[in-house]
Amino acid sequence: MRRLGELEAAIMAVLWGAAEAVTVRGVLEALEREPEPAYTTVMTVLDNLHRKDIVTRERVGRAWAYRPALAREDFDAEAMASVLESSADRGATLLRFIGKISLEELAQLKALMDEAEGRPS
């Protein structure tokens, strides 16, 4: 799974924040970007995200309405797993990742690992 581009990430943020499926027009109205992208640009990005199975779509009248295929956390977890899978040295990659997170995040990671193993943290 590749990383999202800047506009893809902004569009996905809109979809992840929505309670229901969103049309191209709805996404365009919710985007807070200057300059505002063209309708056809947003439509093309959503179509590309659909082809990559990152979003699903359903007909609403004559328009398509889009929703994320995965929750944001699941998408992020798959992206992290993909990075590890592509690493030549998973241990070194994990070590460098640990070196980049805060002490609070490290403590949270340790607590989550202990919980996953069934131990109290």
Residue 105 lies in a domain: yes
The pTM of the full predicted model, rounded to 2 decimals, is: 0.82
Tell me if residue 66 falls in helix, strand or coil: strand
Number of domains in the chain: 2
The mean per-residue pLDDT over the stretch 3-18 comes to 95
Residue 10 lies in a domain: yes
What range defines the domain where residue 106 resides?
Answer: 72-116
Q: What is the pLDDT of residue 1?
A: 61
Residue 1 lies in a domain: no
Residue 83 lies in a domain: yes
Mean pLDDT of the chain: 93
The mean per-residue pLDDT over the stretch 14-28 comes to 97
Confidence of residue 64 (pLDDT cuts 50, 70, 90): very high
CATH code: domain of residue 10: 1.10.10.10
Within this chain, do residues 25 and 59 fall inside the same structural domain, yes or no? yes
Query: Would you list the DSSP string of 10-36?
Result: HHHHHHHH-SS-EEHHHHHHH---SSP
